[in-house]
Chains A and B, each alone.
Chain A
């Protein structure tokens, strides 16, 4: 169903009532699967992801042959293995995907190499593997971005050292490629409806910095619009990082309150003689 984008120019409101630079509502939870080494649940709008982490451990990777792997620390650190499972009920039309769906494999590779650049795996040694299993429970746009964010959150829960959160966000442009509209506004965090009609890209950055770790753009768009889209996406990444950070802090504070972990100390230069 094509999206009627003409209304956007009248009210500057998108189909779901957001403005151009608003993220969808996000919900996040850590440690949803206590028996796993790390786990997280993340919602960005109606895209819902559960991520389970096993490892780092030293087990043969034969059982997860469909996973995409990438080594950390230039081959000196642990390997990151990512596998994505999309539930048959995740989309409106119920369909089953094969294990070697090429689109899925490409997403797996992108996530694996992105995370491998962020994880500090040298303390684990090259023989260990971090298995990241991502389950898509509901799919409504920005899938790759949401998968990256969920994996990032679960890695923090697993206690794997990382340079920063790897956060991702999508950005689009208000008119199609054919319209050749140089003045088109960028849009942040697209849903399925918008993704189907408008050109968009997914951008992953290292935390709140402007360091781009991964960028995926599968649609045709004029080069002049690209910069605006990237800037918007990078801005969205900052918002996502704030959110993920808040989830982790809330969980940590709860654990401190309950006495599960000791209170942390505070660095101040006063303490030094």
Chain B
């Protein structure tokens, strides 16, 4: 591939904030009138802003209840609710909470998450799901190969690394939460399990100004046969973990984590859970499929860089748009890279600006 030298573009203007460095002063050496200049603007901004910042009083009306992102001064008799994070205010009936502008992932029961095993213990795995604490996956919460239903014995405990070992990726559901916010996962469905044949990427978690949002469907299949470079009908599975971890892989008919639609019922689980569900060996992936996987990854990166949300609709539309862009620029050497100016164009086309 020939080397292309891109013309350097100007860096986006840094949003540095300058301030008039005046402090409160009564008398002293300050000249008459020169401190008043910055003031009125400052007041006006604070009033019409809908952003809450730490230490800001939200309300002192005793009717409201405090939720996440708020606190009351302990021991104080007044019912003043203050904000403890920077974010926007949300009201649910009489509950006041502040949604932070950015925060780490906080697990909720039922979340679809992509995780990486960091530690193997006697009867459980410890999984990094991008939260404040490691999640745990008990040995009893996985499907055994062949789909056999039985108690986990000592033999299973000794063979724990044949299921998952350190560094391996998996998709799971949050089954339970502890008081300290730690999650317990399970993979007892054909949708969940070990991940292979794909690429992992991570975007900042919930409330991150863009990033993955909780949606009706977190896993879906993209048809890549629309691109004329691809021969035959190939598909790509995209798994958008609620925790901001994303898995993009080759679609395999009848198995795979994204096999969302009408899988076999629990009664036929024995036949369908093959013996290779815990295999760490990748299948042979055609180069075309690999390229399209990389393109989907580029689309997600572009969405994140431009502060757009990452969900099924945006990724599907973004991928179609990226394919169109690639068709237009057939003569250019690299159509996969969707950063910088190209990413901005893609994002603009998506939101129609």
Which A residues fall within an 8 A CB radius of B? 12, 18-29, 31, 34-35, 37-38, 55-58, 78, 120, 123-128, 156-165, 188, 206-208, 235-236, 238-239, 242-243, 245-256, 258-267, 269, 271-272
The residue from B88, B104, B210, B351 contacting A256, defined by CB atoms under 8 A apart: B88
B87 at the binding interface (Cβ < 8 Å): yes
Known A21-B30, A264-B89, A265-B91: A37·B15 in contact at CB below 8 Å:
no
The residue from A159, A250, A256, A269 contacting B102, defined by CB atoms under 8 A apart: A159
Chain A residues in 8 Å Cβ range of B63: 269, 272
Known A249-B45, A267-B64: A24·B99 in contact at CB below 8 Å:
no
Whether A58 and B50, one on each chain, are in contact in the complex, defined by CB atoms closer than 8 angstroms, is: no
A221 to chain B, nearest CB (A): 20
Chain B residues in 8 Å Cβ range of A26: 18-19, 21
B175 to chain A, nearest CB (A): 19
How many residues of chain B have a CB within 8 Å of chain A? 63
- What 0/1 pattern do residues 65 to 87 of B give for CB contact below 8 A with A? 00001010000000000101111
- Nearest 8 pairs between A and B by C-beta? A264-B88, A164-B55, A159-B103, A125-B180, A252-B51, A159-B100, A260-B209, A161-B84
Whether A272 and B17, one on each chain, are in contact in the complex, defined by CB atoms closer than 8 angstroms, is: no
In B23-55, the 8 Å CB interface with A consists of 23-25, 28-30, 42, 45-46, 49-55
Whether B53 and A260, one on each chain, are in contact in the complex, defined by CB atoms closer than 8 angstroms, is: no
Whether B51 and A188, one on each chain, are in contact in the complex, defined by CB atoms closer than 8 angstroms, is: no
Chain A residues in 8 Å Cβ range of B14: 29
B227 at the binding interface (Cβ < 8 Å): no
Known A24-B21, A28-B16: A266·B101 in contact at CB below 8 Å:
no
Known A56-B132, A251-B101, A272-B94: A22·B22 in contact at CB below 8 Å:
yes
Whether B132 and A124, one on each chain, are in contact in the complex, defined by CB atoms closer than 8 angstroms, is: yes
B269 at the binding interface (Cβ < 8 Å): no
Chain B residues in 8 Å Cβ range of A266: 50, 89
B90 at the binding interface (Cβ < 8 Å): yes
The residue from A242, A250, A252, A260 contacting B307, defined by CB atoms under 8 A apart: A260
Known A124-B181, A159-B85: A255·B71 in contact at CB below 8 Å:
no
Known A19-B29, A56-B104, A235-B23: A261·B88 in contact at CB below 8 Å:
yes
Whether B209 and A261, one on each chain, are in contact in the complex, defined by CB atoms closer than 8 angstroms, is: yes
Whether B71 and A120, one on each chain, are in contact in the complex, defined by CB atoms closer than 8 angstroms, is: yes
Known A34-B204, A245-B53: A21·B28 in contact at CB below 8 Å:
yes
The residue from B15, B21, B23, B91 contacting A238, defined by CB atoms under 8 A apart: B23
